[in-house]
Chain A
Amino acid sequence: MILDVNGYFGTWPYWPMKGTDPQSVVEKMDRTGIDRVFINSLRSVFTDPLHGNRETLEVVETFPDRFYPALTFSPYSPGYEALRSILKNPPKCIVKLFPLNHSYQIHEEPKVEEILRICGEKKIPVFIPYRLIMSWRLPTMNYGSLGGVIGKFPDTHFILGSINYLFELQTARFLLRTYSNTSLETSAMMAYREVERLVDEFGAGRFIHGSCVPLQNPAIGPLKIKAAEIPDEDKEKIMSGNLSNLIGTMV
């Protein structure tokens, strides 16, 4: 069983990219053995979180066995109230924040704090990607300022994602060490023996598989875990167990 916390559909604005419609995402999942993806509309990232979330929910309705919704909002775009009302009685979902694309800082925004509080109450994981995909073309977040926010919401589970190596990984490791309410998503981890080193340091319970399908080659996400020299039960935790547990506790 392979769960994937990091998927998208919709238009990729920066260069032509084939197969980003939901049906094509399903085909890519079939080819690479990914059973289910938390998916969100790229519209919600770039132009319109309100309608983007609606698109996401529609796509999940069309492929209920393959997708879970990843919902987002910006304190500066329509969609905050709509998200709050969805979260009152939420489907199995995650909330994904895009402060880089929505131009805000997480620790400065009362509406973001309110959503984080609700996510804590309802046990909805919150995913904060450090970058949209692992491309040196795209900007990266200031992860250093996240510690205060994570510490302020100990009941909320934060998934840190799209982290590669060196400085950025060191910051992520600091956050993992300091705050037990955090996990690390794997889509941008490309360094040699990185999975082994991290599992050795933190245990497999802190890592969650992400492929960034369809924006990144989805074969790489599962392969990274399968090829790692770690016990099979650790692989199973990273591929699906840890995320299943998080979603399983949703209220």
Chain B
Amino acid sequence: MITDCHVHIGKSTWIQIDVAAKELIAAADKSGIDRMMVTDLTALIYDIEEGNRLIREAIADYRDRMIPYYTIVTGRHGKKVLEDFERYVTDHGFRGLKIYSVPPLQLIDDPYMIPFIEKAAEFQIPILAHSTGEECESLSRQVPECILINAHMGCCPQAHGDWHRSVAAAKAYPNIYLDTTSSSFDNDMIEFAVAEVGAERILYGSDLPLLDPTLQIAKVTESEITQEQKDLILHGNIDRILKRRDSA
């Protein structure tokens, strides 16, 4: 059983991606991924309202396999987008918020982002934050009830690949989770994270269709941790987090 917490859909010239739901399902089938949490590229880099509408339509036939994040490129569009976000969660079953840090100008702990973080915390839905460990710490101080997934656990250019820093952030704040997807397969990385914060705080992600999910799954299955820990990372933890909305 595998639930993938980090998948993209739609179009981006920047990462040279143009992918439809059907193709993602085929890739998931090939790699043995049961469910995917999906974020729209148009919403992430161009037009928030259009992008979130596109993903709602695109995955309509696959709701048993695809769980949508509401995605925003910035918090600065304010109230109108915040209300849109609320509607997508309450009316359309969106089950996460995806945010993206653009240093040095728009960090995810930007004051304009806080209302979105508060709203996600109120809904008890996870926030996939492509950011540094420091930014996740800052958000955790400001909104301690939020459920933050530090995308790539620091293994992205924004966070300078510093997964030690992200592990330290998760160690300091119990609401911070670490997403395993990235181009990095450093020896001992998963083992170190499990030893420091526990397998309960680590979530498997693939970054499909940018990265190869077979390799990302192997990052977990080929690490030297117990089968029980692997199962938590591959699906148990995110499945548990997703239930929090239902009981919120």
A residues contacting B by CB (< 8 A) are 15-19, 133-138, 164-166, 188, 190-194, 214-220, 223-224, 227
Indicate if the CB atoms of B164 and A134 lie closer than 8 Å.
no
Task: Please give, as numbers and ranges, the residues of chain B lying within 8 Å of A223 by CB-CB distance.
Answer: 214-215, 218, 222
Chain B nearest Cβ from A29, distance in angstroms = 13
Do A192 and B27 have beta carbons less than 8 Å apart?
A: yes
Rounded to whole angstroms, the CA-CA distance of A135 and B186 in the bound complex is 8
The answer to whether B143 has its CB under 8 Å from any CB of chain A is no
Q: Flag if B160 contacts A137 (CB, 8 Å).
A: yes
Residue of A nearest to B161 (CB): A136
The interface size of chain B toward A, counting residues with CB under 8 Å, comes to: 30
* Assembly CA distance A227 to B211 (angstroms): 14
Q: Is B162 an interface residue (CB 8 A)?
A: yes
**Which chain B residues border A165 with CB–CB below 8 Å?**
183, 210
Is the beta-carbon distance between A191 and B212 smaller than 8 angstroms?
Answer: yes
Known A136-B160, A137-B162, A217-B222: A188·B215 in contact at CB below 8 Å: no
Give min CB distance, B133 to chain A, whole Å: 13
**B187 in contact with A17 (CB, 8 Å):** yes
B188 touches A191 (CB 8 A): no
Q: Do most interface residues of chain B lie in helix, strand or loop, or is the interface mixed?
A: loop
Residues from chain B with Cβ under 8 Å of A19 in the complex: 187
Q: Which residue of B lies closest to A193 (CB)?
A: B212
Q: How far is the CB of A212 from chain B (nearest CB, A)?
A: 8
- Add 20 more A-B contacts to A134-B185, A135-B184 (CB < 8 A): A17-B187, A135-B186, A136-B160, A165-B183, A165-B210, A188-B183, A191-B211, A192-B209, A192-B212, A192-B213, A193-B212, A215-B186, A215-B187, A216-B185, A217-B186, A217-B187, A220-B218, A223-B218, A224-B215, A227-B214
Q: Chain B contacts of A191 at CB under 8 A?
A: 210-212
- Across-interface contacts of A164 in B (CB, < 8 A): 183
Alpha-carbon gap, A166 to B211, bound state (A): 12
- Distance between Cα atoms of A165 and B215 in the complex (Å): 15
Partner of A219, one of B156, B208, B210, B218: B218
Nearest to A226 among chain B residues (CB) is B214
**B104 contacts chain A at the CB level, 8 A cutoff:** no
Q: Known: A137-B161, A215-B187, A224-B215. Contact between A192 and B155, CB under 8 A? A: no
- Which chain B residue lies CB-closest to A219? B222
Specify which chain B residues have a CB less than 8 angstroms from the CB of A192 in the assembled complex: 27, 208-213
**Chain B min CB distance to A62 (Å):** 22
B235 on interface, CB distance cutoff 8 Å: no
A-B contact pairs, 15 of them (CB 8 A): A17-B187, A18-B188, A134-B183, A136-B184, A165-B210, A166-B16, A188-B183, A190-B185, A190-B212, A191-B212, A192-B211, A218-B187, A219-B222, A223-B215, A227-B215
